[in-house]
Amino acid sequence: MTRWLLLGTVLVGLVVSLALHGMLRSAPAVRQTGQPVLPDDGHLGPVLDIDEVSFWSAPGASGMVGVALVDTGLDEAWPEAADVLAAHGVSATWFVAGRTVLDSPGQVAAARSAGGEIGVTGFSGRDLAMLPTWRARIELSSAQAALAAREGVTTPLLMLPSSATRQTLDRDALAVARTAGRQGYALVLGVAPEVAGTGDVAVVPLDRDGPAQLDALLTRLAADGLRPVRVSEVAGMDPTSVNSPAGVGARINATAVTIAVRAADAVTAVVDWLFAPLAVLMTLRALAAIVLAVRHAHRQRSPRSWTGPVTVIVPAYNEAEGIEATLLSLVGSDWPHGVWVIVVDDGSTDGTADIVEALALPGVHLIRQANQGKPGALNAGVAAARTEVVVMIDGDTVVEPDTIATLVAPFDDPAVGASSGNAKVANRQSLLGRWQHIEYVMGFNLDRRLLATLGAIVTVPGAAGAFRTAALHDAGGLSDDTIAEDTDLTIAIQRAGWRVVYEDRAIAWTEAPSTVGDLWRQRYRWCYGTMQAVWKHRRAVAEARSIGVVGLPYALMFQVVVALLGPIVDVAALYGLATAQARGVVVAWLGFSAAQLVLAAFALWLDGESPRPLWAVPLQQLAYRQLMYLVVIQSVAAALAGTRLRWHKLRRLGLAGTGSEGARGSPAWHDGR
C-alpha cells in the first residue's frame, strides 16, 4: 500500500508541477483590446486606486513626466536602457514580470541600486486580462512573492502592458485591475513616449527599439523643460512606500512560492530533457533490432547438426491441467537418436504425478520429491540425466515434432553451452492473449534475435531451452538465489565462457496468463527476478564478455529504466493535451504508434505469424503498456525496500495443449484469432 501511495504522490506532484509551470511560464500572447471604459478628459492621474465600484487617482505633478520601462522578456534591452538613464542622470520605474525577478535577479538589483523603483506586470508576462480571475490572482501573488524573495521588498504598482493607457483599458482589463486592487495593487496608466506631457507617465517597452525610444524621450523632455522622474514622484506618492521591506509573513510566503516555482521548473526541465533522449533511444533500439534480427534470420547455419540422445526435463508443480498435452508432444518428437523424458513432480497436490504414471508413456520417467522449488526440481532432473545435452521444458508447454531436433542442432559447435527456443503464446484468442502474443513476438523474440547476434542473450526461457551438461556444471547448476532461475542460469553459463544461441525455428507453445491478476504476478516475478540476476552478476560488466558489456545493461535499460520513466512521459503527454502543445503531443503519439505498428508487423513477418493481430497494437500502447510500467514500479519499490518475493504459481487451464497438433503453418495457430 505504501508504494502505491508513494507512486500516487509522485504522479500528482508531477501533474501539479507541470500545471504550475504551464501557468507561470507559458509564452505571452497578444490580445486585441476592446472599447475603453475610462473617460479621456484629463481629470484622471497616472495611478488609479480601483475598488469594486469606482476608481480614484490624483492628477500627475506639473512639470514632471514619469518614466515607466516595461519588461518584454528581452534581457539584452535592460543594460542598454540602464546606460541611457545613466547618461541622462535619470531614475525610472521598471515594471517587471515575476519570472524576470527569479531568472535575472542581477538586472532588477542593478535597477534598484541605480535609484530605480520596481513595479510588476504579473509573473509570466502574459496579458492578465486574457486569464480567468483565479489565474490572474496566482500571477499577481506569485510576482509579489518573487520580488519579496529576491529583493526583500514588495510593490503596490501594477501595469498591464496591453492596457497601459486610458485608451486601451477595456472591460476585461478593468476587471483584472479590480482583482488586483483587492490584493493591494494600484494600476498605472501611461501614454506613448512621443506624446507624453506634464503629469503623464511615458510607457517605454524594453524591446529592441526601447533604448532608442528612451533616449529620444529623455532628449525631448530636456528640451521642453520637463523633468523625467519615477512613477511614484509624478503620482505624488511617498517613494519609500513603493518598494517597502517585506514582512516576515510575506517572506515566508515568498520562500514557499519560489521553491514551488523552482521545483516546477526543475521537474518540467527533466521531463522536457527526457523526451528527446528517450525518443532517440527507442528509435535506435528499433533500428538495431531490425538490422540485427534480419542478420540473425539470414545467418549461415552449419550444414551439420548435433546428434545423440537427449534428456528432456519437465519440472512439474500442480500441472494437472496441461501435463498430458506436454508429454504427448514430447514423445511424438521427430528425434531418432533417443529422447528420455524425466518428469520431476515437485510436491504437487493436484494429482500431477498420478496422471504421469497413468499415462505410462514410453521413455517417460517420474521422480517424486517434496517441494523444493523449480530450481530444485530441475537440478534433480539434471542429476538423473545421463546425456550430454538436456532440454528443459515447462509443464504447461507443448512442442512441435521438430522442436527438439532444431533446439539441439547448434550443439555441433563445441563452444555452444545453451540454445534458446522460440516461445509462443498459445491462448491468444482474448485481447489480453493477443497483447501478450504481440509482446512475445515483438519484444522478447525480437530482443533475443538482437542479443543473439551480439552474443549476449540474457534469458533462455523455461518454456524451451537446451543445455550442455558441462555448461550446467561450470555454471554451478540452477540456483535459488533469484526467482528468475532461467535468467540467472543463462548469465552464469556465458560468464563461464560458453556461447548461448537462439533457434527461432524451435517452437514451443506456452500458456500465457489469462487474467490481469495472473499476468501481474507473472511479470512481477520476471521483473523482480531479472533485477536480482543483474545485481547478482553485476561484476560481469568488468569481465569484458558480451553478456556483461551488452546484455546486462540492455536488460536494465529497456526492462527497468525505460519502464520507470514511462509514466512520467505519459503524464506529461496527457498534460500537454490540455495545453497549447496538444497538436504536438497528438502528432508525437501518432508517430510513436505508427513506428510501433511497423515494428510489430516486421516482427510478426519475421516469426512467420499472421499480421491480423496488428489492430490490437494501438490499444496495447494505451492500456497494456501502462500495466507493465506499474509492474516494474512495484518491483523496483519492493527491491529497494528489501522485500523477499516468493514464487508466484499461476493458475493453469491447460490451454497450451489445445493447439498442440497444429504445426507451425497451421491456420488454427496463425490466424490471430
Q: What is the pLDDT of residue 31?
A: 55
CA distance 296 to 277: 27
State the SS3 of 299-340.
Answer: CCCCCCCCCCCEEEEEEECCCCCCHHHHHHHHHCCCCCCCEE
Count Cβ neighbours within 10 Å for each residue of 343-357 and write b for 16 or more, e otherwise. Answer: bbbbbbeeebbebbe
Q: Which amino acid is at 104?
A: S
CA distance 575 to 407: 49
Q: What is the pLDDT of residue 486?
A: 93
Domains and CATH numbers, the chain: 31-246 (3.20.20.370), 275-670 (3.90.550.10)
HSE (CB half, 13 Å, CA atoms) of 159? 29
DSSP string, 228-242: EE-HHHHTT--HHHH
Q: What is the pLDDT of residue 131?
A: 81
Q: What is the pLDDT of residue 660?
A: 36
Helix axes 562-577, 582-606, angle to 10 degrees: 140
CA distance 97 to 159: 10
Asked if 318 contacts 352 with a C-beta cutoff of 8 angstroms, the reply is yes
E runs forming strands in 196-264: 201-206, 227-229
CA distance 493 to 456: 11
Neighbours of 176 (CB within 10 A): 27
pTM assigned to the model:
0.68
Q: What is the pLDDT of residue 5?
A: 60
Asked if 460 contacts 423 with a C-beta cutoff of 8 angstroms, the reply is no
pLDDT along the chain (673 residues), means of 10: 56 58 55 65 75 74 93 88 94 91 86 89 83 85 88 90 79 86 88 91 93 95 95 89 83 77 70 75 89 87 84 94 93 91 94 94 95 93 95 93 94 96 91 91 90 94 94 94 92 96 94 87 88 92 91 90 76 62 71 87 92 88 81 79 56 48 32 33
Q: Mention every residue, 6+ apart, whose C-beta is less than 8 A from residue 621.
A: 592, 593, 596
Tally DSSP H helices, then E strands, for the chain.
26, 17
Which residue in 31, 26, 215 sits closest to 123, CA to CA?
A: 26
Q: What is the pLDDT of residue 361?
A: 94
Q: What is the pLDDT of residue 342?
A: 97
CA distance 442 to 445: 6
CA distance 656 to 398: 6
Say if strands 227-229 and 64-71 run parallel, antiparallel, or are unpaired.
parallel
Given phi > 0 = left and psi -120 to 50 = alpha, else beta, which region is 539? alpha
